[in-house]
């Protein structure tokens, strides 16, 4: 086991990274924070697969790579399968004694955006989880297809405007509720599932470490604020993420073995959701009088879900 | 250690069983697969070897063919031997990832049991799936019978994994006609087969942590073209490696394969060019017609569908007056793709034979010796007349009125 202690911010900033700062993600993009944190929370070797999306197109443009570790991208939908194929090969070669360094500790990790995780790669992810490979899947959930210009995904919350679910004179934006991916993954019987956020970086690092050290398929949904498509100033990424967790728009919790639910962050003062919505261009239209009901709906959904999480935590079911 | 499998000098295997035995003998490290008729028995047989301790490698039953090839790619990038099998709709579902496997230069072996593509849904053999793979950057080798499916699957590992090739290889056989028809097979012993295939040698191994590697990078207009050109060159250059592997296998078994297989072509006046199990039908028809009617006919068939043996094809057909090219795939509003390729090859030689195209056998429609003879006689008629006496493209074996296109223009 090669968990590194959770680094403090000073250590973090002077660290020799396995994910290079030289990439073309937007300034202020939370994807890189989450990836760096994952790669900093273990000293083990990593085999990383990425689905097509902002992370992938910004970090491996020939002849450059930001990855100082084994890394593979195949397509938009199949990172979970790519990395579990590698994990199967690892087991085969370990058994046959053909690994170059059979004692080198290794962890298998897949990254996908919400587009690949909730939508197009859902089947590949589900299959890999069901097969029980020893790997961790991390979703960088920015609630839209950012790489292709901000189209809706099934993770886009109700009321947000996107380029394919637009707000206009006859529409308040996306009509459908966000898919509950964490519950779906927990229902696969995964030994560890969590929703984490980079503003709560200690709990995020701890969650990552737990997932890496847990044998079997683990899933983590991470809140990844996208300044470009959510429309906020790049310097405000953490501030926006604070609002996301303090309004309980993104509750931080884990589910162990499909049923033991633990809430990992309880805001001292729960902030009304208006503050979160008002800080982002994608929700601006909701503040028109005719769309007020949508804000009310979002708030009541949040309250209801938070209530449910608390009851589940208490009941341990 | 995997249990030893008792194998006889002569076995009675069908094409699926033959292919699965070749995978077992090659001691594949990871098979990631999904079942589909008619290739299902390949993975079922393999699963049986796994269940009974004959396999040390991993057998990953994924949730789709797209995932099967995706898993194969992840595994192949991790420094070991990889193989799978599919057909038809499964092949079509894999299409996206086939290109990624070849673009990443991963020597995966894919057993393709050829079957028609829907719609209408059809489980029988034609070459629609094989044709779908023809621009995917894979080496495509074609077995005409079950023993060849065994031989060529073993050869496929050697070819694809060769240090100067490093490309994925498909080994095709015809659905049902080959895959489900048992014949006498003379397999190698496990030891001899493995010795021929050899230990896997990894290149850019993701599990070699002393040398981090990035797979599947992005290239735009600045570099994409160079990558694709290099890949094409590797395919072209694989021709000499294929010849070498075939020669070595010939020494071992007495079964000699060539990238273009010619039958009775020495003095041939007319020829038929075909693919798959049809080649055997054509050979029988040719032999009989030579005896019965004295028609000097020969049969030419590419063993390598890709890389296409352009010059060997031209050479093989250089002396004939009339050629029929048989396409077992719906041409979709054009001449058959194989017809176009063979025509281009003969066009490059001084000889200008009369070339016609037959679309036949779609969805497993039987192709009889009688029909093969009819086609050969027609070639003889073209040759005697000195011009094409029929339409250039005809449908063979179709119910109802005759269907054909394009009149030969005589100036
Ligand atoms: C099969 C396929 N369909 C569509 C695309 C186009 N595409 C590439 S990335 C992308 C959206 C990515 O969204 P997400 O997964 O949320 O990642 P993000 O860029 O937001 O981080 C789309 C639609 C593709 N590459 N492949
Ligand atoms: S568009 Fe959004 S997700 Fe993509 S790089 Fe920019 S901030 Fe990050
Ligand atoms: Mg996204």
**Residue pLDDT, tens place only, B290-303:** 999 999 999 999 99
Of B57, B77, B215, the CB nearest to A92: B57
Residue B1: the pLDDT is 82
Instruction: Answer yes or no: is A274 within a domain.
Output: yes
The radius of gyration computed from the CA coordinates of chain A, to the nearest angstrom, equals 19
CA atoms within 13 A on the CB side of B109: 34
Mean pLDDT value across residues B143-153? 98
Is the pLDDT at A104 greater than 80? The verdict is: yes
Instruction: List the domain range (segments joined by +) for residue A229.
Output: 9-315
Instruction: Answer yes or no: is A138 within a domain.
Output: yes
CB of A282 closer than 6 angstroms to any ligand 2 atom: no
Domains of chain B: 3-253 (3.40.50.970), 260-396 (3.40.50.920)
Any idea which residue has 């984490």 for tokens?
A: A196
Is the pLDDT at A1 greater than 60? The verdict is: no
| List of chain B residues whose C-beta atoms are within 8 Å of the C-beta of residue A57 | 218
Is the pLDDT at A62 greater than 60? The verdict is: yes
Give the CATH number of the domain where residue A109 resides. Answer: 3.40.50.970
The radius of gyration computed from the CA coordinates of chain B, to the nearest angstrom, equals 21
Instruction: Answer yes or no: is A4 within a domain.
Output: no
Is the pLDDT at A260 greater than 80? The verdict is: yes
Question: Model confidence over B247-280: pLDDT tens digits?
Answer: 999 999 999 999 999 999 999 999 999 999 999 9
Structure tokens at B272: 């038929």
**Which of B68, B70, B218 best tests the A interface by mutation, with the highest count of A CBs <10 A?**
B70
Average pLDDT, chain B: 97
Average pLDDT, chain A: 96
Residue A7: the pLDDT is 76
Contact A135, A108 (CB under 8 A): yes
> pLDDT-based confidence at A3, cuts 50/70/90?
low
> pLDDT-based confidence at A316, cuts 50/70/90?
confident
> pLDDT-based confidence at A144, cuts 50/70/90?
very high
Is the pLDDT at A235 greater than 90? The verdict is: yes
Distance, CA of A156 to CA of A179 (rounded, Å): 8
| List of chain B residues whose C-beta atoms are within 8 Å of the C-beta of residue A101 | 208-210
Instruction: Answer yes or no: is A93 within a domain.
Output: yes
CB of A228 closer than 6 angstroms to any ligand 2 atom: yes
Residues 6+ apart with CB under 8 A from A93: A99, B29, B78, B79, B80, B207
Question: Model confidence over B203-248: pLDDT tens digits?
Answer: 999 999 999 999 999 999 999 999 999 999 999 999 999 999 999 9
Mean pLDDT value across residues A160-188? 97
Contact B74, A83 (CB under 8 A): yes
| List of chain A residues whose C-beta atoms are within 8 Å of the C-beta of residue B74 | 49, 72, 74, 81-86, 89
Centre of ligand 1 to C-alpha A115, Å, is: 6
CB of A32 closer than 6 angstroms to any ligand 2 atom: no
Is the pLDDT at B371 greater than 60? The verdict is: yes
- Count of structural domains, chain A: 1
Question: Model confidence over B111-123: pLDDT tens digits?
Answer: 999 999 999 999 9
Identify which of A119, A145, A154, A282 to mutate to test ligand 1's pocket (most ligand atoms within 8 A of the CB).
Answer: A145
Residue A2: the pLDDT is 62
Residue A16: the pLDDT is 66
Distance, CA of B44 to CA of B41 (rounded, Å): 5
Give the residue among A67, A110, A72, A76 at the shortest CA–CA distance from A221.
A110
Q: Is B411 on the interface with A (CB under 8 A)?
A: no
Instruction: Answer yes or no: is A173 within a domain.
Output: yes
Mean pLDDT value across residues B38-54? 97
CB pairs under 8 A between A and B: 162
> pLDDT-based confidence at B411, cuts 50/70/90?
low
Question: Model confidence over A187-198: pLDDT tens digits?
Answer: 999 999 999 999
Mean pLDDT value across residues B150-154? 98
Instruction: Answer yes or no: is A299 within a domain.
Output: yes
- Which residue of chain B is at minimal alpha-carbon distance from A65? B214
Of A61, A89, A95, the CB nearest to B78: A89
> pLDDT-based confidence at B138, cuts 50/70/90?
very high
């Amino acid at each position: 086991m090669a968990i590194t202690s959770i680094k403090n911010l000073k250590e973090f900033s002077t660290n020799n990274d396995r994910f290079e700062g030289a990439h073309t993600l937007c300034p202020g993009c939370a994807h890189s924070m989450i990836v760096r944190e994952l790669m900093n929370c273990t000293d083990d070797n990593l085999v990383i697969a990425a689905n097509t999306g902002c992370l992938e197109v910004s970090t491996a443009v020939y002849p450059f790579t930001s990855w100082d570790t084994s890394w593979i991208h195949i397509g938009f939908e199949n990172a979970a399968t790519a990395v579990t194929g590698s994990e199967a090969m690892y087991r085969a070669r370990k058994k046959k004694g053909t690994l170059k360094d059979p004692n080198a500790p290794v962890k298998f990790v897949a990254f996908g955006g919400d587009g690949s995780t909730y939508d197009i790669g859902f089947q590949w992810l589900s299959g890999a989880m069901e097969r029980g490979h020893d790997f961790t899947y991390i979703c960088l959930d920015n609630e839209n297809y950012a790489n292709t210009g901000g189209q809706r995904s099934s993770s886009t919350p109700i009321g947000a405007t996107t380029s394919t679910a637009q707000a206009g004179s006859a529409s308040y934006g996306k009509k459908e509720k966000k898919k509950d991916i964490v519950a779906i993954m927990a229902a696969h019987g995964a030994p560890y599932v969590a929703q984490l956020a980079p503003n709560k970086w200690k709990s995020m690092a701890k969650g990552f470490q737990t997932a890496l050290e847990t044998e079997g398929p683990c899933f983590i949904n991470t809140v990844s604020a996208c300044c470009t498509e959510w429309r906020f100033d790049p310097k405000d990424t953490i501030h926006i993420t604070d609002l996301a967790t303090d309004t309980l728009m993104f509750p931080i919790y884990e589910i162990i073995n499909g049923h033991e639910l633990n809430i990992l962050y309880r805001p001292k003062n729960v902030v009304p959701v208006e503050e979160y919505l008002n800080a982002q261009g994608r929700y601006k239209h909701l503040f028109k009088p005719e769309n007020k009901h949508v804000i009310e709906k979002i708030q009541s959904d949040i309250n209801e879900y938070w209530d449910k999480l608390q009851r589940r935590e208490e009941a341990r079911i | 250690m995997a249990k030893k499998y008792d194998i006889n000098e002569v076995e009675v295997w069908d094409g699926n069983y033959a292919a699965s035995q070749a995978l077992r003998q090659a001691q594949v490290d990871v098979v990631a697969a999904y079942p589909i008729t008619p290739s299902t028995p390949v993975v079922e047989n393999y699963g049986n070897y796994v269940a009974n301790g004959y396999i040390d490698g991993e057998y990953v039953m994924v949730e789709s063919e797209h995932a099967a090839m995706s898993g194969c790619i992840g595994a192949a990038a991790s420094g070991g031997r990889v193989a799978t099998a599919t057909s038809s709709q499964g092949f079509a579902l894999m299409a996206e990832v086939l290109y990624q496997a070849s673009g990443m230069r991963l020597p995966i072996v894919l057993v393709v049991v050829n079957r028609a593509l829907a719609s209408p849904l059809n489980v029988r053999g034609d070459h629609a799936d094989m044709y779908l793979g023809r621009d995917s950057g894979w080496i495509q080798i074609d077995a005409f019978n079950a023993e060849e499916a065994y031989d060529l699957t073993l050869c496929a590992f050697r070819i694809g994994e060769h240090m100067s090739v490093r490309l994925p290889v498909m080994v095709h056989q015809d659905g049902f006609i080959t895959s489900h028809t048992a014949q006498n097979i003379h397999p190698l012993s496990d030891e001899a087969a493995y010795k021929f295939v050899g230990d896997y040698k990894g290149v850019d191994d993701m599990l070699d942590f002393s040398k981090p590697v990035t797979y599947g990078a992005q290239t735009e207009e600045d570099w994409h073209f160079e990558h694709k050109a290099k890949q094409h060159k590797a395919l072209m250059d694989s021709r000499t490696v294929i010849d070498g592997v075939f020669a070595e296998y010939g020494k071992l078994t007495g079964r000699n394969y060539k990238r273009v297989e010619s039958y009775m072509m020495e003095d041939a006046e007319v020829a038929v060019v075909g693919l798959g199990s049809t080649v055997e039908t054509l050979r029988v028809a040719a032999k009989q017609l030579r005896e019965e009617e004295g028609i000097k006919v020969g049969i030419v068939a590419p063993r390598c569908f890709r890389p296409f043996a352009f010059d060997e094809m031209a050479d093989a057909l250089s002396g004939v007056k009339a050629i029929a090219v048989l396409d077992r795939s719906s041409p979709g509003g054009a001449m058959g793709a194989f017809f176009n390729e063979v025509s281009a090859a003969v066009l490059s030689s001084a000889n200008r034979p009369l070339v016609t195209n037959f679309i036949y056998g779609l969805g497993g429609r039987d192709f009889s010796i009688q029909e093969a003879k009819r086609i050969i006689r027609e070639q003889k008629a073209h040759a005697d007349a000195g011009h094409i006496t029929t339409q250039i493209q005809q449908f063979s074996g179709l119910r109802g009125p005759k269907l054909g296109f394009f009149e030969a223009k005589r100036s």
